[in-house]
Amino acid sequence: MNQRTLLPGLLLLVALPAPASAQALCASLDRIVRSAGEPVPFASLARAAAKGDVLVAGYRPMSCRVAPGESIACWRNLAPESLSVAAMAPAIHDCLGLPGPRPDPDGPAHATFLASGLRFEIGNNCTPRCRAGLIAWFRVRLARRR
């Protein structure tokens, strides 16, 4: 292979977001919790999303939708393992400072956490071996809503 054939692949790798770090995830969750206390919950996140900001570490900016006063939801196919429920559940548990044992990393492909008046939900619809790769989703809603 020569440099000319390697360049497109290298550019693609550089353009892909890096997997979520625990610190970046905690910062994202903290921002979400703070925005839920606004007069219109999540309004600042809606403005940030409109500017193209990353709302949740590991999810692409345009893959998150914010419904001010209601929720934030993100989705990603070809997701890195760091967005699997096995990786995210213990990280969210720790970031939110929840009591009790950490979630089982071999648990189900869906997890829900209640903290700060919010319902945090994560899930996977496929595995890395699926045609679309690992499909990960993340949603936060006001706890009083179902």
Structure-block tokens of residue 37: 């206390």
* Cα maximum dimension of the chain: 58
Is residue 7 in a domain? no
pLDDT for the residue 108:
80
Tens of pLDDT along the chain (146 residues) come to 555 544 444 334 333 444 448 899 999 999 999 999 999 999 999 999 999 999 999 999 899 999 999 999 999 999 999 999 999 999 999 999 998 888 877 778 899 999 999 999 999 988 778 887 899 999 999 997 55
Global pTM value: 0.81
The one-letter amino acid at 102: R
Q: What's the CA gap between 61 and 74, in Å, rounded? A: 9
pLDDT for the residue 126:
83
Number of domains comprising the chain: 1
Name the residue with tokens 């492909």. 109
Ordered alpha helix ranges (H), the chain? 3-15, 22-36, 43-51, 85-95
**Structural domain for 135, as ranges:** 19-142
Is residue 57 in a domain? yes
Is residue 104 in a domain? yes
